Structure 1
Amino acid sequence: MMIKGSISRRVREAVEKYRAGRRREAVLQLIYLLSDEEERVRLEAIDALGEIGDADTVVELSKLIGDKNSEVRVRVAHALGKIGSVTAMNPLEKLLDDENGDVRFAALKSIVRISGGSSLDALIKALGDEDERVRVAAMEALAKVASRYPDKVVELLRSENWKVRAGAARVLGEVCETRAKDELIMLLDDWDWRVRREAAEALGKIGGEEVIPYLSRMMQEKDAEVRVGIVKALSSIGSPRAREILEEALNDEDARVRLWAASALGSMGSEEAEGALIKSLSDDDMQVKLTALRALARAGGVRAVKAIEPLRLHPDESIRKEAERAIKMIALKHNMTVDEILRKARGA
């Protein structure tokens, strides 16, 4: 049993009994300490029972899920997860309704630990949680089992809760569930921008060339975060038509969209985007300029070096360093030294 740090005398006595093989005596002493007046003792007793892992202690630990101290409830959730008994599922599922996000997060992690993610109802409930940590944990767990319940997960796209719709869209994108394509296309018109963004990114992962017209239309979307999602989707598709739309996105009014478009074009590594990225070197936003330099390091050629060279004298140090790095990367890609590619660029 691993008990870290210093512990109170009475809990230490119980732990020593356990280590001496007096398991039952140790467990009974720790159960008694669950009602101790000293908060530290109660917390340590909970932790110790979790480490011992005796399924018979689930009932006693479960009595604390309504404790007024949220830290007690968090520790109980962790302890029940370590015990790993299916009898702990009921109290853990009750903790998903706790008012405290830390408690709900701990409860969900333990539910996943015990069930292996097969507790679908609990995962669906957690998808709609107010706490983003809980929602993300639910998405990660659901993505691992979504292939076993594809129809059920697709059905979640029609939930009345926007958080559930957005979470389901992300999960379906992660597992590349092609049967969700039509439903995801419909969600591009969802009333909530977060759902539209997740639907767009999911379509980029599973939709292929045929969804580009829908994504292209959405580049007129008023919410910049949705346009960022569309840019990410087009990057996933990576076709010539997707590249063209990404080049157009370099002129977007929002710097975040321009930044992601430049990054996407760099990731695609096509020198056909070189001209558009060179224009982005003049962007007013410093982060866009830096991203364009990084993109040209991957997708640029001699023409890019000619445009980058003046930035070696830029007043901002980060721009100067990134310009030097980009030229070195392009030179390496063309099997040339920096001096050689600079001479060639100057003569171009």
Structure 2
Amino acid sequence: MQELITPPDWSREKIVADVAHDYGVSEEMLSHSKTRVNFGDTPIEVAKRALTNLQVKVVDETSSLMAMRDAIKNLEPDSDDFRRKIDDLSWEYAASLKTIDMANLSQLVVRRANLIDVLDMAVNEGLSVQSSLPDGKRRRNEALIHNIFFPMRKDSDEVSDHDVWLLSEEYHYYDYIASDKPLSQIKWDGGQNLFDADIDEEVSKMLAKISDENSAGRPDIALFHEEGSVVIVEFKSPGVSLDEHVGDLTEYATMLAAKSNGRLKKFYGYLIGDTVNPIRLQGYNKLPGANGFFNTSDIKEPTSQVAIGQLYSELIFYKDVVDRSRKRIDVYRERLKLPKN
């Protein structure tokens, strides 16, 4: 009966390859979890068995790790077999960590790969939700892209599940991240307000002069580090030319520096979109190996022209963000011996 319902072109090699590509379960993981590929199996059946087996091993080996802690506590350094026991426990500990690390890393790779695909489709207006937006579609596209990186109108005190790693892995671990939140609510060391109380009003006035669309009065995403550095991220809808908004980053950085009472001095600004007119860019250089541009400039107090900080800014394309993210994922895929996209 099995032979009658099995496709004639069934191949174990193809099933193993599909399981690795679609579900992040490599052949090494199949072997480690003692998962057999039976004749007639589909990729989803094999993946389910492998992940179930891995979960059981993770639970068993987590219990084993806890038992090892007790074993370590009971070691006697002056006994003849002390060093042999240390060696044995070390090998056992390493083997247990391999299973846990393998399962967690596999899930991370698949999740991030899926998220990159969502971003790619959102940028190219390929999501189903984007086909049913008759009015204000351009602004809606920007909001969808924004939420992929970090939920709008939230901060890192409210949510820990975000994906600013798409921009840079190190930004994922900044001390505080605000996404379209009032700047006056941001706290610094000891719970003190980081900015002067009137900052939101002042930024709103500034942005109202730039564009009615930006009158909300705060950066799309702002990341703060206790050393006094800030990352400002501004998303632009597909079709909006980035050269029309290069001044936004400078104005943001100037306002944040002036209203932070000297706490913030180093600024990194990112303007992200898919269109730019290089002829209109002054003082920007081409990014090596990418389609974007970068610039470094002093931030000056508007009246006295005294330098109050420095801004490094990049104009980058969504395509490059997607490509960079995929390359970082490929590092994990290589470790798990998974095929690259």
Shared fold (TM-score, shorter chain, > 0.5): no
Query: How does the TM-score come out when normalised to structure 1?
Result: 0.30
Pick 1 or 2: higher relative contact order, CA cutoff 8 A, min separation 6.
2
Q: Return the structure number with greater strand share.
A: 2
Query: How does the TM-score come out when normalised to structure 2?
Result: 0.30
Q: Return the structure number with greater helix share.
A: 1
